[in-house]
Amino acid sequence: MVGADRISGAPRSVIVVGGGIVGLSVAWFLQERGVEVHVVDRRGVAAGASWGNAGWVSPGLTIPLNEPSVLRYGLRSLLNPSAPLHVPATVDVELWTFLTRFAANCRWSSWTRAVRANLPLNAECIEAFETLTAGGVDAPVIDAPFTAVFRTPQRAVALLRELRRMAEAGQPIKHTALTRERLVEQVPLASPALTAGVRLDGQRYIDPGGFVQALGRAVEARGAEISTFEVTDVRADGGKVTVRSADGTTLSADALVLATGAWLSRLAGRLGVRVPVRAGRGYSFTVPVDRPVPGPIYLPHERVACTPYRGGLRVAGTMEFRRPDDPLYPARVESIIASVRPLLDGVRWEERTDVWVGPRPVTSDGRPLIGATRAPGVYVAGGHGMWGLTHGPITGRLLAEQIVTGKRPAVLNEFDPLR
């Protein structure tokens, strides 16, 4: 442990609730500053959204979900259970309250604010990954171009317009339009149905489950204890913070970080955090391939992401607003396959494995929640939506700084949990 950045009166011990990329990154960077850490997760390391996502470390693609077109698309797809964006017919009052607030933020002013808030995180997110790997996290971060693919050049215009809008908001992305011939060179899996592409440079990808498990091992090797139980209550009293499980297990420390992903509001809502977090569930699976996969493949029209994964291809897609613990719905997997099968050749779809659904934590205003709550010594880190993997390590570094120094970094002002 380094410990040189500790100040007098800073917490000497912290409980981190959440064993995903965000929680473990907070734990690792706290250890860098000499803090004793105890990590607690309801199911264990990398058991949630950190395991089955596409594995993209893509600062150039951290496009907030609350774009006005998403609202229009969502309204059109409400009654279509196979649509990439799906809201099931339900009487869940909390869900519809959340969606109403989300819809109110689907306007360009809110979207642009979220883009600009992300800029400092984007600028340093790859460096934060490099800090972890240089510090003992034994997992590769791979630099490779991402290729967005389209049936027609006209469909590529929508992405090019979005990239232009990101650049105008301060997030330029180096990209190159591809003809059919160049597209096939970049994406050997491309079927004849694909005629245009856009190459996106400066991005990275990882094996997400493997990376987070390696991060967990590194945190444990540095002296942290990792426990498996569900925290049901948080108390801050007398300079200590105590967590309790349903069976009466208790732990106490000087401070606490809630990094529980899509379950964040269950405890944070009692601590003055009014911005709700809901599960935007994504599905993924792995398929063997008969052709090379040089880098990630992005299908914007189908809203599907494909990544090289352990010799095959991980295919991830959909945004499904259900409760985080609801079961996997096989029809959602079939809809992903139906949309992508005509576009990629050399993929053995029927041999798929690792079929998975996981809840991504989505906020109603497109910005995550990072910082202190009203309870003394209690902090939250979550609500990153689809970009928790990209922004997990830099979130951990910045929040660790706030916890140890007592001063909130200016870049976290837009992510104030009490906004």
- Using alpha carbons, list the distances in angstroms from residue 220 to 8, 192, 226, 322: 26, 49, 7, 33
Q: Which of 418, 400, 295 is closest to 35 using CA atoms? A: 400
b/e 194-217 (16+ beta carbons within 10 angstroms → b): bbbbbbbeebbbbbbbbbbbbbbb
Show the low-confidence residues of the chain (pLDDT under 70). 1-8, 71-79, 81, 91
Q: Which of 59, 111, 24 is closest to 391 using CA atoms? A: 59
In this predicted structure, what is the pLDDT of residue 69?
Answer: 78
Q: For 140, phi and psi rounded to 5 degrees?
A: -80, 150
Domains along the chain?
13-415 (3.50.50.60)
In this predicted structure, what is the pLDDT of residue 211?
Answer: 98
Q: Is the dihedral of CA 268, 230, 258, 23 positive or negative?
A: negative
pTM of the predicted model, to two decimals? 0.93
In this predicted structure, what is the pLDDT of residue 6?
Answer: 53
- The DSSP string of 160-200 is HHHHHHHHHTT----EEEE-HHHHHHH-TTB-TT--EEEEE
The CA distance from 266 to 280, in Å, is 16
In this predicted structure, what is the pLDDT of residue 74?
Answer: 62
At 21-79, the pLDDT tens digits run 999 999 999 999 999 999 999 999 998 888 999 999 999 889 888 888 776 666 566 65
